[in-house]
Every structure is written in structure tokens, then in C-alpha cells.
Structure 1
């Protein structure tokens, strides 16, 4: 029975951690809630960093999960700019801050997130080399894009994943010249495969982005600390005033690993291994958000999901599990993106090699359609592009595991909710 004598500690001040703290209170927990954040900003959401806020369409304050006064009003002990450097599982304590403060926990939630992968090439120490993960990164990059657009400057982006493409779109809207270097054959190849990856290549080319596929950066050339060019392994040299490294993110597992918790194989995405209740290998420690690696029964595989919806839903699920509620975390993975006049939502999990066909409903040439990744007649994933209010129906198809008629699936006049039996 949870009571006021218990202390729940949350490590990580992103969306998952903040929503977990909120859920503990809304579920009636009256004990201590300690939320430790290594950033000095209050917990915030990350999608605006590469979308509305980066484009100057949203104010800075719009990114925060709660108003600053909310934490004190809900008796959340918020520690900003503090790093947890040790977990003692035997004593059930965490140590944090420069003064080595030690607090005991009854339940502990790790919501430590992920960090951008670094380019391991010469020149990364130059002033014009950027990453985008934190609010401070977005503030700096927003200033950079403004200047590049004003001066007709060049931005080179390493990586054509979601962050790379969203920043490319933002940079073009500011008026900057953009070149994207990507090792794969198409953008987003590891998520969408070649069929839909090509659509995003065409979209960006239509807006003036240049792509170099099948190559990687080997050196960033500079002078007096400033970027001048970016070299690739095919011998090309691309003019650049700034470079963005957008080559993915790595789960922040060092704290969990040092505490002896089970860590997933990096080939499977890494992360802290959790069960269907988001418990780690220690029954009093939970993990949620980008750092958690869980076995998804629906897709029969282990996965680590780095997107907003996983933090939004995973944090509250972990909080309820910490309270002893009977919760199984099996949400269908979901994410969204906005690039130029294209808006999309993706539900499911279907990397290349897991599906046998892609079915298109609508007009892909007009970028107004729904794509389905199908294996043996079952829908594994769906992406709606400039088509709205279909996410729930797509997720129902995925969850049903029903065999569908692919001709009906491709027919815009056949109701989606009639296809699953």
C-alpha cells in the first residue's frame, strides 16, 4: 500500500519524467516525489526544437511541459542542473549534485533519455558544428539558420533521418543553402524503406535541398576556428558555413550500467531492459522513454522507441506501475513530422526486411495518401501523409493482426474500420 512515508525518485527531466511526476500526483500518491534534471531549464517537449520553435512559429515558453509554478504547487521536489552520478541498489539511494546529496528511494524511475551520436572525424571541434537535442541547441541553431538565410550561407547536414530532414526544411524556409550527406540509399531508409524514402528525397529536392547518398563525412575543414567545407569519402568537398550532425541518438545508459542493471545489446538499439510493466532487472527500478528497451508482444521483438508519444505515454505507465497498478505497456509506436507543406503520422513498426509489400491508398504523386507496410496480408505499420483523422483506424488494423484484402486496403472508398475482422 502506497503511503505518505514513501519516496519516489525520478531521474531525468524530459517529457517522460515530468509526465510520470504528474501521474503520481493525479493517481493520489502522497509521498515525496523527487525529480532530478541535469538541464537548468524546466522539463520540456522536444518536437518543437526541430519544428515550430526552430522555425520561429512557436514561443520559447510553449515547449515546457508545465508552468514553472506547477512543481511547487504539486509538491514535486524539482532539482534543476543536477546530475545523478551513482545508484546504490543495496541501500536504495541515489547520489546527485556537486555536493553529493544522497536520497533514499522506495521506487526509482530512470527517464534519462538519449544523447546525439557524435561524428568521429577531424574538425568536429570547430565553432560551426552543431547537434540538436536540447533547448540550448535549438536556440543556437535558430540563430545560425537566421544568419545563413540572410547571408545565403551553406548548411551541410550529416544524416537524413527525421531530425536531419526537419532541420533541412527549416533551413530552406530561412533561405539557407542545404546539402544532406547520408550513408543510406534514400532518406529514412531504416524506418520507411526505399519505397517511401524516395518520396522524401523528392520533396526536399523540390525545395532546393541537395543530397549525397551512399557517402559519409570524413572531415570538416575550417580556418580560424570556423567551418569552411565538409569532405566526404567519395572525394567531394562541399562548401559549408555550418554543419549539423544528425546521425542518430544513443540511449543514456551509463548510470544504469554502473548500477548493474541489464542493458540491451547495441545491435538491438541498446537501452535499459524492462519488462511489460517497465520494470528493470531490479524490481524497484523502472525505466521509460528513450532509454527503455522493451519486448513488444504485438511485433514479437525487442525495441527502443525514441519518439514523443513513447515519452508521453511511457512516463505515466511507469508511474502507475510504481504505484502497483496492473498496467501492461504495449502502445503501438507512433510519431509525426512536419516538413514544408507535408504533414505525416506513422504508426507501427516495419523496418526493411520485415514486410513483403507496401500498399498505397490515395495519390502519392500529390503527397496525399496513406501507406501500409504489409506482411502476409497483415498490416505492420501505416503512414498517413496529408490525410488526417485515420490514426486510430490504422492502429486498430495493426492490433487486429487480421489478414486484409490488399485491393480493399488500397481503395480510398473502402472504410478502414471495415477491413479488420
Structure 2
């Protein structure tokens, strides 16, 4: 019987961890990991954190050592794109014009930054952050200090790059249409915490305004806001969200809606094709609904889950969404989903004004999300509260003397 071939499209964290898991689980067939970047698989958090700040070497971001792929008989094809999927013939066509057959296919094609479609958007000096090369270019732009940096978008990428720019000694302005940064992710209560944090570090926040265009003669020199103001700029970072890379799936006829639709085992509408990471819109049994998560932990965990499902194991991917950030002297971990309109109240345990606290989002008396700010070693307990789905006593929840483990 010929050996099976498992093809992974997307040499990302999710793809690399899937390949690793296939070998750990004893799969002896052919594993082909294909990526259109020339960089071997890497983790993305350092791109807006340690690597961007020049605090960590490039190599630290890589998922595996350079020789890991050869040692584990994983065929790593870099700088090669997959152009199409032939589901009937179980083949993928590469940009090299080769065709490769597969028994199982995993799509970890990730997401791409949303671009601003406004006048002047093609000027030099306007940056997007997704790849290692993008981060290296930003580092070079920030490093001299004394630059005028404008950040379009007050989401996670916008805030982290703003903090990095300030750390390098640049003047920074954030332009954000919502009333607070992170409004869609955290709501106004915690969004205000990050607004205050950045203001304290000298960032000019222009809230309730969007970007209407850019001025410049070849090189960007100013950002025009929706209110008509002109903000001088030497460097611009656009961080207005990302779109899942679904073209391959769409053209192959897979079910797609805000990502590739997959079930709890990360299987697409084709039983021989799975999807994981940023591109997968997965049914989460714990939440009872679909969710597409673009954070590091989802890539880290969903790649291995998809690999096990490809091997025929019983998989139910029900992870609690998790995210972390470091900005200036604030470190934070977030678990769960705190979508405005889907919670009743936010309560706090600890020193809110001193930024050493845990925030809990409640819906129907149940914890649906938690965020620990400069408080450590509580993430497992917060996730256990979310998983329990049981109503909690708010007075005990907010009392630092009551162990969180007593509330589960």
C-alpha cells in the first residue's frame, strides 16, 4: 500500500505545529509543508513586541530550529505558493507549476491586513504589519527616534506598535474611529484603561475620527482625518484588522463565511480537508457557536488539533480564546470573549487605579471573559471559571481574599 501524503498549505505557526504533531503521533507518511514566504515558520507576537523592540533576536521567533524539518522528514517548501486545489483529483497546483497529490489537506493560510482605500494610500512610509519583513522595516523606521509616527487604528496591533514607537523616542498619534481603543474587543470600560496608559506615555489619541487620506510627494508627510485635521507624519502604521485568506478555499468550492467554515474537529465541508489558525471559522462546543480567532494561542493549539483529526482521532476543539499583550509597564492576559452587547457588567478584583487587577465580564451572572493586568499565574483559574458556566457570587469574585479556585 503506498504511503499517505498529508499536505499543509501555510508554513505558519499552526502549520508547523500540525506537522510536528503528525510526527509525534506516529504518522510515517509524507508530510509536505508549503509556504509562500521565504522565512521558515515563525510566531507572530514578537513582530509587534520583542523583535520589533530589538529585545529579541530574529531566531527566537522561529517555531523550530533550521534542521528540525530534515530531522523529522518534513518537506518544507518556502517561497512557493499553492495556486489551486483540485478536490476531485486530490491534488494541489503550485506556483512552480508542479502538482502534488494529497490524502489529507490542511489549510493554515492565515489572514492579511485590511488596507485603507483612501487618497494617498500608495505613498512611501505607510506600513502594514503581518510578516517578519514588515516588522524589520518598521524597526528600521522607528530606530532613529525623533520621527512623527501616526497609527491608524486603536486595536492590538495599533497599540503595540504605538508603544514600540514611543519606546524608540518617537512622537506618536493614534487615530481611531471608536470612542476608545479596543472598543470592539474589550468594550469601553477596559478600552479606557489603554487610552489612559498611552496618554500617560505621551501618545496623542484622536478618538472618534477615521483616516480620510494621506498627503505627500512620494513620501507620506501628513494624515488627513475624517474631521479634516492634518496630522504631520514621517511614518504611518495601518492596523485596522485583517481578512482571512480564503481564496483557495472559495475557488475550491469549500464553505466560506468570515473564514473557512469548519466543525469542532476543524474539518471543512470536504471531509479530506481541514483548516486551522486565523483562517478557520470554527464551531466551538464550549461557546456553542462559531468563532474565528486571530490570536497566537489559537494557532498554537488548533494546528495540533487539526493534525490529530486528520489522523482519525476524535477531536473536539473547545479551547477558551486566549491573548496577551505587553505595552510599556503593563502586561496583560485575556481569556474568553468580551464582545460589547454580549455581557451585562464588568467587575474588578484588585487595584484598578494602580493597574494591578483582574477584570471579569459577566453575562447572566456567569463569567464569560477575564483579563488579568499585572497579576500573574491566574489564567488557568480564569479559564476554569469560564468553562464551568456556573453563576458566581459577585461579592466573592471581587474579593482578593477569596481564592479563584473556590469559585469554580
Deviations 1:226-267 (A, max 9, x none): 111000110111010011110001000000000000001xxx
User: Residue 249 of structure 2 corresponds to which residue in structure 1?
Assistant: 256
RMSD: 0.8
Is the contact between residue 178 and residue 209 of structure 1 (CA under 8 Å) also seen in structure 2?
yes
User: Residue 176 of structure 2 corresponds to which residue in structure 1?
Assistant: 182
User: Residue 117 of structure 1 corresponds to which residue in structure 2?
Assistant: 114
Q: SS in structure 1 opposite 2:26?
A: coil
Supply the distance in 2 between the matched residues of 1:4 and 1:164 (Cα, whole angstroms): 50
Is the contact between residue 363 and residue 369 of structure 1 (CA under 8 Å) also seen in structure 2?
yes
The number of residues matched between the two structures is: 408
Supply the distance in 2 between the matched residues of 1:37 and 1:364 (Cα, whole angstroms): 44
Supply the distance in 1 between the matched residues of 2:131 and 2:385 (Cα, whole angstroms): 35
1:410 maps onto 2:390 in alignment: no
C-alpha deviation, 1:321, in angstroms = 0.3
Deviations 1:104-160 (A, max 9, x none): 00000000000000001011111100000000000000000012x1xx211110000
1:200 maps onto 2:188 in alignment: no
User: Residue 15 of structure 2 corresponds to which residue in structure 1?
Assistant: 17
User: Residue 66 of structure 2 corresponds to which residue in structure 1?
Assistant: 68
Is the contact between residue 6 and residue 105 of structure 1 (CA under 8 Å) also seen in structure 2?
yes
1:378 maps onto 2:366 in alignment: yes
C-alpha deviation, 1:364, in angstroms = 1.1
Is the contact between residue 4 and residue 29 of structure 1 (CA under 8 Å) also seen in structure 2?
no
Supply the distance in 1 between the matched residues of 2:368 and 2:166 (Cα, whole angstroms): 33
Supply the distance in 1 between the matched residues of 2:227 and 2:184 (Cα, whole angstroms): 22
Please show how residues 137-148 of structure 1 align to structure 2 within 5 Å. 137-147=134-144
User: Residue 267 of structure 1 corresponds to which residue in structure 2?
Assistant: none
Please show how residues 32-47 of structure 1 align to structure 2 within 5 Å. 32-47=30-45
Q: Which moved more, 1:241-250 or 1:291-300?
A: 291-300
Supply the distance in 2 between the matched residues of 1:4 and 1:229 (Cα, whole angstroms): 61
Supply the distance in 2 between the matched residues of 1:326 and 1:320 (Cα, whole angstroms): 8
C-alpha deviation, 1:4, in angstroms = 6.5
Is the contact between residue 244 and residue 279 of structure 2 (CA under 8 Å) also seen in structure 1?
yes
Please show how residues 115-264 of structure 1 align to structure 2 within 5 Å. 115-147=112-144, 149=145, 152-223=146-217, 225-264=218-257
Supply the distance in 1 between the matched residues of 2:147 and 2:319 (Cα, whole angstroms): 43
Supply the distance in 2 between the matched residues of 1:65 and 1:298 (Cα, whole angstroms): 28
Is the contact between residue 285 and residue 317 of structure 2 (CA under 8 Å) also seen in structure 1?
no
1:358 maps onto 2:346 in alignment: yes
Q: SS in structure 2 opposite 1:344?
A: strand
User: Residue 29 of structure 1 corresponds to which residue in structure 2?
Assistant: 27
User: Residue 313 of structure 1 corresponds to which residue in structure 2?
Assistant: 301
TM-score by length of 2: 0.99
Supply the distance in 1 between the matched residues of 2:34 and 2:297 (Cα, whole angstroms): 22
- Could you tell me which runs of 5 or more consecutive residues in structure 2 were left unpaired when the two chains were aligned: none
> Aligned to 1:105, which of 102, 120, 124?
102
C-alpha deviation, 1:299, in angstroms = 2.0
1:345 maps onto 2:333 in alignment: yes
Please show how residues 41-56 of structure 1 align to structure 2 within 5 Å. 41-56=39-54
Supply the distance in 1 between the matched residues of 2:306 and 2:167 (Cα, whole angstroms): 39
1:299 maps onto 2:287 in alignment: yes
TM-score by length of 1: 0.96
Supply the distance in 2 between the matched residues of 1:297 and 1:329 (Cα, whole angstroms): 7
Supply the distance in 2 between the matched residues of 1:233 and 1:356 (Cα, whole angstroms): 32
Supply the distance in 1 between the matched residues of 2:298 and 2:2 (Cα, whole angstroms): 29
Q: SS in structure 2 opposite 1:195?
A: helix
Is the contact between residue 128 and residue 237 of structure 2 (CA under 8 Å) also seen in structure 1?
yes
Deviations 1:297-324 (A, max 9, x none): 2222211000000000000000000001
Q: SS in structure 1 opposite 2:175?
A: strand
